[in-house]
Structure formats: structure tokens, C-alpha cells
Structure 1
Amino acid sequence: MDLITPLDTICRLIIRAREAEAQVTAIETDEEDDPTESDDGFAVLEDEANEVVEEEIQALLDDLGEDQLAEVLALAWVGQGTYDASEWEDALAEANEGGEDKIAQILDMPMLAGYLDGGLAAFDLSCDGVGQVD
């Protein structure tokens, strides 16, 4: 299986999806103005709006062609276990013929980073060393 989507693009999507998944909804209290002053060590993970990360994920997906979006969706399905690696052509065909918005389907996956990572691993691909300068 040869990817038409650059591996570094998929890896960047995985990194940003992990960042979005790591953030939790902020708990607002009238007493606390600055979450960094909180006694809660996890307060720095709170983000009322993951706008920057979400916008970058959206931009990454917007820059992909329809065939690349189908590939990302099919990779996520393989990582999710909906399809096996041996069923790649079937997953890709379903992703290509799906009537729903591919971007919406991708963004609606609650564990997107893990699914994409698992999809890559099913084909002996990984993000190890991608984007690093030696």
C-alpha cells in the first residue's frame, strides 16, 4: 500500500489530534481568575476553546484532496478495527463513495490520533523520525 497523502501530513494530524484530545473542558469558578495560579496541577490542560489546535486540524484537512481525505478516513477505520489491513481496498472504496462529508466524519472521531496511529501501524508505518532534523 502506497500512501498518496504525505506521511508527514498524517503525522502532523496525529500530533494535533493528540493535543486536542489531551485538553479538557475548563471548570469555571468565580474565585479563580488565572488557571495557572490554581492548586490543581492539571489546570494547565484546561482550555475553554481549543480553537488554535482545532483550526490547525481543520486547515490540514481542508488542504487535502478528496482522495487524500478518503485515505485518511480509511486509515482511521483500519486503526479503529472497522477494517483489517487486508481489507484496505474495501475501506478505501467505502471512504471514496461515502455521501457524508469526509472531514466531518474524521473530526467526529473521539480518538482520531490513536486510530490514525493504529492504521499506520497496520501497514508497518509510523511517525518515528518524521519531521525530525538530524
Structure 2
Amino acid sequence: MELLTPLETLCRLILRARELEAQVPALDPDEDPDNVDDIDDGEDDQALSALQDELNSGVEEEITAMLDDLADDQLAETVALAWVGRGTYDVSEWEDACAEANELDPEEAIDELMEMPLLASHLEAGLAAFDYSCEGVGQND
């Protein structure tokens, strides 16, 4: 299979999706920290708070913009790759995956990808199913 979407673009999308997936939602500022229903000595809370980042809406916006910049056939291909990587379709069903993805309007396709848990892993697995890899992509020789 020949990719319609540049491999470098797909790899950058995977990288940014990994960054988004790695983020931990911030605590709700309206939440009562002294909730008596949550029996806890508080020691773990400080250790965990060091691991929590504010959600970086910039990463989400960048991913959405990257997807929005794709041509309709490239966007459908990206959705189909994610579906293959997720196991919704097999490699042998590539044409069917592409046909279904092409039925989505661009907004639906972007929503499908943005709401997909483990998007980066699914895209990476989809690429690997067709013997593509991001290894070495974007590195200057």
C-alpha cells in the first residue's frame, strides 16, 4: 500500500498524540480537598501532584489543526490506519476501512480520531501492519 499522507506527517501526529495521552488531568479546583468520604493520610497526594501537569490545550489544538490541514482522502486514510491498528479492520480489509472512513465528513473524522483512546498506539500499529515505521523519520542525517 502506498501512503497518501506523508509518513513524516503521520509520525508527527503520533508524537503529538503521545504527548497528549501522557498528560494527567489537573485536579478540579472546585473539588473539596478535605472530603471526609475519601479517607487518605495525604502523603501520596503530594507525591502524585508532582506528576500531574495541567492539560496542555495547545497540544490538542495542534493535533486538531494537523488533522484539519489534511486533504479529505488523507484524513480518511488516517482514520482507516487507526482502525486497522485498533483491530477494527484487518490489513486484508483495507479497502473496506478506507471506504467507511471516506463516508465520514471531515469533522466526524477528526472527532473520531480525537476521541480515540490510545490514538498514537493505534496509528503506529496501523502503520506497522503495512510495514511502515516512524523509526528515523524526521532525523537529520
| Alignment correspondent of 1:90 | 96
Match of 1:121 among 128, 132, 138: 128
Residues of 2 paired with 1:23 and 1:40: CA distance?
Answer: 16
> Once the 2 structures are TM-superposed, how far is the Cα of residue 60 of structure 1 from its aligned partner?
0.6
* 2:57 equivalent to 1:66: no
Residues of 2 paired with 1:106 and 1:10: CA distance?
Answer: 13
> Once the 2 structures are TM-superposed, how far is the Cα of residue 50 of structure 1 from its aligned partner?
1.8
Question: What one-letter code is carried by the residue in structure 2 that aligns with 1:96?
Answer: N
> Once the 2 structures are TM-superposed, how far is the Cα of residue 101 of structure 1 from its aligned partner?
1.1
Identical-pair percentage: 63
Residues of 1 paired with 2:26 and 2:129: CA distance?
Answer: 35
> Once the 2 structures are TM-superposed, how far is the Cα of residue 126 of structure 1 from its aligned partner?
0.6
SS in 2 for 1:24: coil
Match of 2:108 among 97, 101, 110: 101
Give the TM-score, by structure 2 length. 0.82
Residues of 1 paired with 2:126 and 2:27: CA distance?
Answer: 34
Q: Which has the larger radius of gyration?
A: 2
Residues of 1 paired with 2:92 and 2:49: CA distance?
Answer: 41
Structural mapping, 1:1-134, within 5 Å: 1-27=1-27, 40=47, 43-44=50-51, 46-98=52-104, 101-134=108-141
Structure 1: gaps spanning 5 or more residues: 32-37
Residues of 1 paired with 2:55 and 2:83: CA distance?
Answer: 27
Give the TM-score, by structure 1 length. 0.86
Question: What one-letter code is carried by the residue in structure 1 that aligns with 2:140?
Answer: V
Structure 2: gaps spanning 5 or more residues: 34-44
Question: What one-letter code is carried by the residue in structure 1 that aligns with 2:92?
Answer: S
Do the aligned partners of 2:7 and 2:134 also contact (CA within 8 Å) in 1?
A: yes
Question: What one-letter code is carried by the residue in structure 2 that aligns with 1:10?
Answer: L
Indicate how the Cα distance of structure 1 residues 79 and 48 shifts in structure 2: closer, same or farther if over 3 A, else same: same
Residues of 2 paired with 1:84 and 1:19: CA distance?
Answer: 27
Question: What one-letter code is carried by the residue in structure 2 that aligns with 1:106?
Answer: L
